[in-house]
Structure 1
Amino acid sequence: MSNWRESAPDWFIQAVDSPWEQRFAESGGAKIHYRVRGEEGAPGIVLCHGNAAHSGWWDFIAPALAEDYRVAALDFAGMGDSEERQLVTPDGFANDIVAVIRDMGFDSPPLLIGHSFGGGMSMRVAVDHPDLIRGLVMVDSPVYRPDTDRPGPPRVAKRAYPSMEIALERFRLIPEQPVVTPYAVAYIAETGVMETRKGWTWKARTNIFGHPAFAKHFWEEQAGYFPRIEIPATKLWGSLSALCTPETMAFMQEIAPSHVTFVEMEDAYHHLLLDRPQETIRVLKEIAAT
């Protein structure tokens, strides 16, 4: 076990120790795990994690949102505590989100917030199922110009380690960046590892972007989805992001519908939930209120 509690501020410890309800929804033959916080009947928010991550990435963000909202944070199929699904497609992951929204039974359409890969899948839900959500927030989710070079797809090595301690020592952020809040990074690592017959490994799929459905025309499809967003949407990104570079953001602003709002977070990298957690809470609350 790591010693993140020794350096974490009180607000962080209180947030991750706060209670939540475990639920499952069915999507394409897989049980999709999600965490629920907040009072029943309150306006809804659904949180979607990034590639090779899990719903615990929201554990220090969601409790603050749950003060005013009914919040669900899901694990995509094959990640976190959700079941594996043999068919790996963008529509399959988007349907994971749809399944959770419908299973929650919100009184009104929720706000959909996705980080990185989760924001890309959330964008597809916003275009294909606009009746299911009231708004979209894409958190450092890039949309690349189809005819230009872009960063290579992140590869996740799902190795088995002889102990939990060794696994945690090997944990790295993808893309790599300076660790601004070591206690937060240690927390998501500790909650994202599991013991198997072969040893300790990550609750993550290996190399999603290596699957044919993602490797061929995925980024071209994403560039086609973004201009088709018709519901209220916000694009939030870190000024130091390795993925949402100035060139990428210029392209997104070029093709964005006029009703999409752009919000840049200063001094934040791609994983801005980890870099500026309290600032992320403040910004998301402001967006949700509008």
Structure 2
Amino acid sequence: MALDPAIKEGAPVGYDDHPIHSEPGALPPEVQAPLAPFQGQVPDTPKWFADAIAKAPERSLVDSMGTKIEMLTWGEVGKPGLLLVHGNSAHADWWSFIAPYLAEDYRVASMSLAGMGGSDWRDSYAFQDFAEDAEAVARAAGLYEGPRKPIYIGHSFGGAQVFFAAALNPDRLHAAILVDTGFGGPPPDSPEAKKMAERVRNIPTADRANKVYPDIKSALARFRFMPPQAAGNLFVADFIARRSLKEVPGPDGGVGYTWRFDPSMWNKLDRSVMMGMTADGPPKVSVPLAHIFGDRSVVMSRRASGQPSPLPADILEIAIPDSAHHIMVDQPLALIASLRSLLAVWPSK
């Protein structure tokens, strides 16, 4: 499995559900700051992408456990339902250029996980709470008003949440599709975990808030992907990055910009229920599972090296050529085609 040049050079790569810190110069410029050369300008955008984002979703907030969860919807209520879940420190708009190409045949909803995007922050986060949020969004979006229960689709950390929801509440969904999901980090007491703990020392925490930038240009120049990778399509990276920011009071007065995820989330994430489900081995998932992954994904390279995975050995898998972990950035049209083709024939019942 070929990997990105940044990985070959021995740069810190982290895991799909935890941010890492990298010192300036530790990563190649196209990985560390892919949007910096544009000086705040929007990269050239192809027509298919412009057409997709022109089909703006309906935006609303759904109450779940006293928290407002951001929801985006496309398509008609009554068609088969799809729920889209984003990855680590991301937001619902990571699917805004994918969903319109599914919405002709499906009622589609995309959610921002609690603590991310436009959703409220919580005093603590837990896998079982994310599952309840997904259910609340699916019901509010009308995904249960179609001919069958919804199919959940999750990327990276969102794929782990989809897998957990399918294992915990199989009666709530028809099937689950994971997109380049590597299931977190190394064992807590392993040497690799100890190295990671050192690397994340400069990640924002409750005592060290997200940095506030004086303008959009400065903020975009600091945007990069986690795990680190070059942006396969810079117009996608720019779209995602702009919607990762929110306005706040500026460092010197006026308007400033900062990231929309809770900087304390990783210190407040309770994995106890999830760990309990895996104490005796991978949990059994009774709903149909499929997995789409990038053929250059560092997340998937861990599994190729022999590290354990909770996915069943006979799971249906689709490899996307010339893609790293963030498939919707590297190969968005291939991801759309794969999802449409898969959903047309799978699951068979």
Q: Could you say whether these structures have the same fold, taking a TM-score greater than 0.5 normalized by the shorter chain as the test?
A: yes
* Higher mean C-alpha displacement, 275-284 vs 15-24: 15-24
Deviations 1:76-99 (CA, angstroms, capped at 9, x unpaired) = 112111111212222222221111
The question of whether the paired residues in 1 share the 8 Å contact of 2:123 and 2:268 is answered with: no
Alignment map for 1:52-91 (pairs within 5 Å): 52-91=89-128
Distance 2:49 2:267 in 1: 35
Counting aligned pairs with the same residue, the percent is: 32
Q: CA RMSD in A?
A: 2.6
The question of whether the paired residues in 1 share the 8 Å contact of 2:124 and 2:268 is answered with: no
| Residue 343 of structure 2 is aligned to residue 288 of structure 1 | yes
Distance 1:207 1:244 in 2: 27
Structure 1's 23 and 9: CA in aligned 2 closer, same or farther, altered over 3 A?
Answer: same
The question of whether the paired residues in 1 share the 8 Å contact of 2:233 and 2:329 is answered with: yes
Shift in Å, 1:223: 8.0
Shift in Å, 1:25: 1.5
Shift in Å, 1:41: 0.8
Distance 2:83 2:167 in 1: 16
Deviations 1:89-127 (CA, angstroms, capped at 9, x unpaired) = 222222211111122232231110000110111111101
- Equivalent in the alignment of 1:240: 296
Unmatched segments (≥5 aa) in structure 2: 1-38, 205-209, 251-255
Structure 1 residue aligned with 2:287, among 215, 228, 231?
231
Structure 1's 93 and 119: CA in aligned 2 closer, same or farther, altered over 3 A?
Answer: same
| Residue 258 of structure 2 is aligned to residue 201 of structure 1 | yes
The question of whether the paired residues in 1 share the 8 Å contact of 2:159 and 2:179 is answered with: yes
Alignment map for 1:37-186 (pairs within 5 Å): 37-105=74-142, 106-107=144-145, 108-143=148-183, 146=187, 152=196, 157=204, 158-186=210-238
- Equivalent in the alignment of 2:11: none
Distance 2:281 2:59 in 1: 32
Larger-gyration structure (1/2) = 2
Structure 1's 223 and 51: CA in aligned 2 closer, same or farther, altered over 3 A?
Answer: farther
Shift in Å, 1:209: 3.1
Distance 1:189 1:224 in 2: 40
1:33 counterpart letter in structure 2: E
The question of whether the paired residues in 1 share the 8 Å contact of 2:40 and 2:216 is answered with: no
1:260 counterpart letter in structure 2: I
Distance 1:149 1:220 in 2: 23
Structure 1's 101 and 252: CA in aligned 2 closer, same or farther, altered over 3 A?
Answer: farther
Structure 1 residue aligned with 2:320, among 242, 265, 271?
265
The question of whether the paired residues in 2 share the 8 Å contact of 1:20 and 1:35 is answered with: yes
Give the secondary-structure state (helix, strand or coil) at the position aligned to 2:59: strand
TM-score, normalisation: structure 1? 0.89
Distance 1:227 1:88 in 2: 21
Unmatched segments (≥5 aa) in structure 1: none
* Higher mean C-alpha displacement, 112-121 vs 262-271: 262-271
**What is the aligned length?**
287
TM-score, normalisation: structure 2? 0.75
Shift in Å, 1:197: 2.1
1:99 counterpart letter in structure 2: A
Greater relative CO, 1 or 2 (CA 8 Å, sep 6+): 2
The question of whether the paired residues in 1 share the 8 Å contact of 2:245 and 2:259 is answered with: yes
Structure 1's 249 and 41: CA in aligned 2 closer, same or farther, altered over 3 A?
Answer: farther
Distance 1:194 1:261 in 2: 39
Structure 1's 99 and 286: CA in aligned 2 closer, same or farther, altered over 3 A?
Answer: same
Distance 1:225 1:25 in 2: 34
Shift in Å, 1:237: 1.2
Deviations 1:32-79 (CA, angstroms, capped at 9, x unpaired) = 111000112110100000111011111110100111100000011121
